[in-house]
């Protein structure tokens, strides 16, 4: 039986973007034993994914931080006797892992001066492309047919039961219709303003008589409270109470998820939740939602170069120009 290792990337959204590539590899090697290497924070993204047999966690900032633990990790990989490695991660260090692990067939992009570490070093396509297509292009150049471009995020029955329990704990019943607002994001300039989320929540509750759930990670609790403080009606806050899979199950149960460009946005779309995605400094052509659900993208061009990485921008005008009225008008299509 052929043994394949996939060395994946480091961000939640990017790992989700890799799932069409995982599907293509599984389709091409239906009987292979496929392992996927990810860092610890991305492990849950691949939980329940039937395209892979095993998740290998590389904790480079924790237990694999020292030179000695890195050597032990390489020894661990060598004992697995992989036949082929697909290095989706673009770094030199990740290509080095496949090389030191003694994997005979090493496939990846010839970036970061790492061509000598690969047996099949593929030049990157010079044209800009969606991150999904970045991974799929690598496979196509290696002779692997592409199945489709849809991202995947798999839920279990237990995830759905846990979601129902969490909703019950915050005061919602199985009969309640609700919208999920996800105000967080790993980069401040990508966030939609708190005052806009608050106004949208008030309109949904007052005009549409629908419940509003505020989601997010533990680090978003202050942000969630800021919204709660500005809203006149009761909100249901699950911020910091869920795993990624529980959050995804709650999103699927909702009428719609309103979110900026973030990991939870990609999880929502991949899991099958109706999603309204607000874009500003990032480009949906490169990182836009592609998955199992209906997704609407809202953006307002200011003529700036996008993607824009100006963390010192005086104001995130590109996000502020997407008004609550614009979002509300699109959102009610899902209600």
Q: What is the pLDDT of residues 210-264, one digit of tens each?
A: 999 999 999 999 999 999 999 989 999 999 999 999 999 999 999 999 999 999 9
Token digits for 14?
């990017």
The confidence band for 326, taking pLDDT boundaries of 50, 70 and 90, is very high
How far apart (Å, rounded) are the C-alpha atoms in residues 329 and 332?
6
Torsions phi, psi for 237 (to 5 deg)? -100, 120
Assess whether pLDDT exceeds 90 at residue 294. Answer: no
pLDDT at 302 over 80: no
pLDDT at 309: 67
pLDDT-derived band at 112, boundaries 50, 70, 90: confident
Higher pLDDT, 13 or 310: 13
**pLDDT at residue 314 above 70?**
no
**Which of 293, 297, 299 lies closest to 254 in space, CA to CA?**
293
Q: What confidence score (pLDDT) does residue 311 get?
A: 66
Give domain 157-334's CATH architecture: 3-Layer(aba) Sandwich (3.40)
User: What's the pLDDT score for residue 293?
Assistant: 74
How far apart are the C-alpha atoms of 295 and 291, rounded to whole Å?
Answer: 8
Question: Looking at the predicted structure, is the pLDDT value of residue 126 above 70?
Answer: yes
The two domains 3-141 and 157-334 share their CATH topology (first three levels equal)? yes
Eight-class DSSP state of 6: E
What's the whole-number mean pLDDT along residues 181-199? 89
- Which of the listed CATH numbers 3.10.310.30, 3.40.50.2300, 3.40.50.2000, 3.40.50.1220 matches domain 3-141? 3.40.50.2000
Neighbours of 110 (CB within 10 A): 16
Query: How would residue 186 be classed by pLDDT, with cut points 50, 70 and 90?
Result: confident
Integer angstrom CA distances of residue 97 from 58, 141, 280, 282: 11, 22, 36, 31
* Average pLDDT of the segment spanning 316-325: 88
Burial 306-318 (b: 16+ CB within 10 A, else e): bebeeeeeeebeb
CA distances from 39 to 13, 61, 84, 160, 284 (A): 13, 9, 20, 26, 25
29 burial level (CB within 10 Å; 0-12, 13-18, 19+): middle
Average pLDDT over residues 120-132: 91
pLDDT averaged over every residue in the chain: 93
Query: Cis link prior to 327 (omega < 30° from 0)?
Result: no
Does residue 292 carry a pLDDT above 90?
A: no
- Backbone dihedral region for residue 12 (phi beyond 0: left; psi -120 to 50: alpha; all else: beta): alpha
At 61-110, the pLDDT tens digits run 889 989 899 999 999 999 999 999 999 999 999 999 999 999 999 999 99
Taking only the tens place, the pLDDT of each residue in 57-67 is 998 888 998 98
User: Hey, what are 251's tokens?
Assistant: 């999103």
Spell out the domain ranges in the chain. 3-141, 157-334
The mean pLDDT value for 193-217 works out to 96
């Amino acid at each position: 039986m052929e043994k394949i290792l996939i060395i994946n990337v480091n961000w939640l959204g990017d790992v989700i973007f890799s799932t069409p590539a995982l599907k293509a590899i599984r389709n091409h090697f239906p009987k292979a034993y496929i392992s996927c290497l990810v860092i610890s924070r991305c492990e849950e993204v691949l939980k329940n994914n039937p395209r892979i047999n095993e998740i290998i966690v590389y904790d480079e900032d924790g237990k694999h931080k020292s030179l000695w633990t890195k050597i032990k990790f390489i020894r661990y990989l060598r004992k697995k006797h992989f036949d082929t490695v697909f290095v989706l991660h673009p770094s030199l260090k990740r290509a080095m892992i496949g090389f030191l692990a003694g994997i005979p067939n090493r496939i990846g992009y010839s970036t970061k001066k790492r061509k000598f570490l690969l047996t099949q070093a593929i030049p990157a396509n010079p044209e800009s492309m969606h991150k999904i297509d970045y991974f799929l292009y690598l496979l196509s150049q290696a002779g692997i047919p592409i199945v489709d471009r849809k991202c995947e995020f798999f839920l279990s029955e237990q995830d759905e039961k846990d979601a129902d329990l969490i909703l019950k704990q915050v005061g919602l019943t199985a009969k309640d219709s609700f919208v999920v607002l996800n105000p967080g994001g790993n980069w401040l300039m990508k966030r939609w303003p708190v005052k806009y989320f608050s106004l949208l929540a008030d309109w949904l509750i007052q005009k549409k008589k629908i419940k509003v759930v505020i989601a997010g990670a533990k680090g978003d609790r202050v942000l969630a409270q800021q919204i709660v403080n500005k809203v006149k009606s009761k909100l249901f806050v699950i911020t910091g109470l869920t795993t990624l899979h529980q959050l995804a199950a709650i999103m699927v149960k909702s009428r719609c998820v309103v979110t900026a460009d973030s990991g939870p946005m990609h999880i929502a779309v991949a899991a099958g939740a109706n999603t309204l995605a607000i874009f500003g400094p990032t480009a949906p052509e490169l990182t836009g939602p592609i998955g199992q659900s209906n997704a609407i993208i809202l953006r307002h061009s200011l003529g700036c170069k996008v993607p824009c990485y100006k963390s010192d921008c005086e104001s995130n005008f590109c996000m502020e120009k997407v008004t609550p009225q614009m979002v509300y008008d699109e959102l009610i299509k899902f209600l």
